[in-house]
A and B are shown apart, each in its own frame.
Chain A
Amino acid sequence: MSGARARRSIEAQRTLARRVLVLPTGLFVVVTCLLPLALLFTYSFYRVDFVTIIKEPTLANYWAVVASPTYRKLIAKALLYGGGIAALTAVIAYPLAFFIAKRVRVYKAALLTAMLVPLYTGDLIRIFAWRVVLGAEGVLNSFLQWAGITSQPIWALLFSPFATIVVLTYNYLPFMVIALWASLEALDQAYVEAAMDLGASRTQVFLKVVLPLTSPGLVAGLLMVLVLVAGDYLTPQLVGGSSGVTITSAVHDMFGAAFDWPLGSALAWSLLAALATVVAGAVYAFARSPWGRGLILRGG
């Protein structure tokens, strides 16, 4: 009886301790993340009259977003680029992550750090570096002409969707590599050996064992890159040329030059909702798939 009470009291203390410890982090998230979003959400229901924000609830902003083919297209474009770049980085990152996780022994940390070095230099510097590479007078065009492969610079290398895709892929590749590397590192070699033992070729080992068992990492990487690319407006703007308009730059314009915070907020929330839907859908589909069920049961 008293034992049970003592136990309960210890339980209660633990619960209390856990709550107290979580408090600072929770507070930080609420103040710096949820509060601004909530504010934005509120603003998305206001409207602007010349230079004053009229605080009367209205759905007009959302209607404007939904009714406008331009905004719809821009949101779709953000998701398309996000998904496309995510897929592209995954294809490039798998062999790289596999190499680092399974073949490198001594220089593992060094390689991973080296891969992250470009991230230290900042967005702008990386983007401008690519302008030097891809520009009409740039490294690539100069080389192609010097080698006699082309007689004139290829203008489409820069200020084109191609340039945007190249730079975005380069920019977000490390995130995918890290996500895949972590799950490949955790992949027990015994599964690979078991698959080979049962008669699987290298391709079959990858498709039937490595891919499913690292799919939690893949899903995490895909979602991370998707969200980051969808929110990136510097890269398309600086190397995308006329194709460089994005939903984020539209939001930026609304809060800046256009001074239409409510519409900007509605645009931002529409993008957020679209991304949330995709992310939730992907996670749900994964969790419901036969692979996902097995992995979740294992706690993987």
Chain B
Amino acid sequence: MPQGVAAANGAGALLVARGLTKHYGDVQAVRGVDFELPSNGFVTILGPSGCGKTTILRMIGGFESITAGDVTIDGRSLAGMLPNRRPVNTVFQSYALFPHLTVFDNVAFGLRLRRHDRAEVRERVVNALATVQMTAMAMRYPSQLSGGQQQRVALVRAFINEPRLLLLDEPLGALDLKMRRHMQVELKDLQRRLGLTFLYVTHDQEEAFALSDWVIVMNAGRIEQQGPPAAIYHAPDNAFVADFIGGANLVAGTVVAASAERATIDCPFGTVAAAGAEGVAVGQEASLCVRAEHVRIGPEAAACPVRFAARVRHVVFQGNTKTVEARVEGLPIVARVGHGAPVETGETVTMGFADGHLRIVRGVLAPADDEAR
């Protein structure tokens, strides 16, 4: 976990956002978010499209004005500071490589503006291009490069200026899956080597988890939850996060008992006691959350505290595992089981939720959240 992020008062943090808000006329794109970035770490803002994540990045970069709240870097407010004066650089979603300049000139753009002498510019550009194996392409124009190569040039062009913070707006969005995987490794590696802070924006939770030390999950202009990837995955706070991250099974119900760590929910599967997320209170609507890999089928379900008969609608082969989509009294349940599990489409099987993996989270899934996915 990155240092600083945990510091609630913002001491030791590189960037502090407090009540950050953006309105476009009547549209509230960002509704008062608070977060901090450490001085060395990989932080991702994760959320569906239109959740306000790119707007936050653009406010930090200086391309959107801040409606309310404030962002500080090293204690200095960014409000009213022109983009060219901010100690941040951006890797744009479209890369925005200047088409009239060669790779070399693109990368040298920022250094030349700062009036470094020719020899120094040359040396630094060559070294920076070498870190991403692009030296041979220095004299090419952007249109002569592949998507992955353009991506690397955009990255180098930004970090060569030694910003305090590198902003990355879905930089891998335009690449094919294989290239994405490859670039993810390179990005993470680069962040470690450079030792600076990356603020990364994506809607791809797999990517967010693969890269980040800290994930900020956003929805409809608000932060739903933030924390290390494992905590977000295993201990979601609310129904949106549980659903958006890995698509958990969510069974709506009402909380009938709650203590510090435990809660009991009254739901279609009966009254179930399980680990409770923070803020779960008696009388509230809540959801019983169980990951697909924690749903058992057939004999394996025997030991489960929650058991039921369900009708199998689809079995999807996925190599080592298969995903079983079943229905019990109109309620969809998804299970991920080993490829050898004896289950066929159309059967009625006994299913169960494995003990110790149940969690009661705040709220129920709104239809709108479903669409946002």
Hey, which bits of chain A sit against chain B, CB under 8 A? 188, 190-191, 193-201, 204, 208-209, 212-213, 215, 290-295, 297-300
Contact = CB atoms under 8 A, between A and B. Distances in A.
Given A199-B113, A201-B84, 15 more contacts: A188-B94, A188-B96, A190-B94, A193-B83, A193-B92, A195-B109, A196-B82, A198-B89, A200-B109, A200-B113, A290-B100, A290-B101, A294-B102, A294-B143, A300-B99
A194 B143 contact: no
13 contacts: A190-B96, A191-B96, A193-B92, A195-B98, A198-B109, A199-B113, A199-B161, A291-B101, A292-B100, A294-B98, A298-B143, A299-B143, A300-B99
B233 interface: no
Contact of B92 (A194, A200, A208): A194
Contact of B84 (A196, A208, A209): A196
Contacts of B35: none
B114 to A, nearest CB: 6
Contacts of B142: 294, 298
Q: Which of A193, A212, A295, A299 has the most CB of B within 10 A?
A: A193
Q: Which of B62, B96, B143 has the most CB of A within 10 A?
A: B96
B228 interface: no
Interface in B88-140: 88-90, 92, 94, 96-102, 105, 109-110, 113-114
A189 to B, nearest CB: 9
A204 B92 contact: no
Contacts of B113: 198-200, 204
A195 B63 CA distance: 12
A213 B100 contact: yes
A240 B62 CA distance: 52
Q: Which of A195, A291, A293 has the most CB of B within 10 A?
A: A195
Q: 8 nearest interchain CB pairs?
A: A198-B110, A194-B96, A190-B96, A294-B100, A196-B83, A291-B100, A298-B143, A298-B99
Contacts, number: 88
B100 A295 contact: yes
B48 interface: no
Interface in B25-82: 61-63, 82
Contact of B114 (A199, A290, A294): A199
Contacts of A208: 109
Contacts of A291: 100-101
A293 B141 contact: yes
B157 interface: yes
Interface of B: 61-63, 82-84, 88-90, 92, 94, 96-102, 105, 109-110, 113-114, 141-144, 157-158, 161
Nearest to A291: B100
A200 B83 CA distance: 9
Given A195-B109, A297-B143, A200 B84 contact: yes
A214 to B, nearest CB: 10
Contacts of A196: 62-63, 82-84
B99 A295 contact: yes
A197 B157 CA distance: 11
Contacts of A201: 84
Contact of A197 (B61, B100, B105): B61
A198 B157 contact: yes
Contacts of A209: 98
A295 B114 CA distance: 26
Given A200-B84, A298-B143, A194 B100 contact: no
Contacts of B109: 195, 198, 200, 208
A56 to B, nearest CB: 54
B63 A199 contact: no
A290 B161 contact: no
Contacts of A200: 84, 109, 113
A194 B141 contact: no
B143 to A, nearest CB: 4
A294 B141 contact: yes
Contacts of B62: 196-197
A212 B98 CA distance: 10
Contacts of A292: 100
Nearest to A289: B100
Contact of A194 (B98, B102, B105, B114): B98
B332 to A, nearest CB: 41
A208 B84 CA distance: 14
A188 B90 CA distance: 16
B63 A193 contact: yes
Contacts of A197: 61-63, 83-84, 88-90, 158
A290 B97 CA distance: 15
Contacts of B92: 190, 193-194
B249 to A, nearest CB: 41
Contacts of A297: 99, 141, 143-144
A197 B163 CA distance: 11
A88 B170 CA distance: 43
Contacts of A193: 61, 63, 83, 90, 92, 96
A114 B142 CA distance: 39
B111 to A, nearest CB: 9
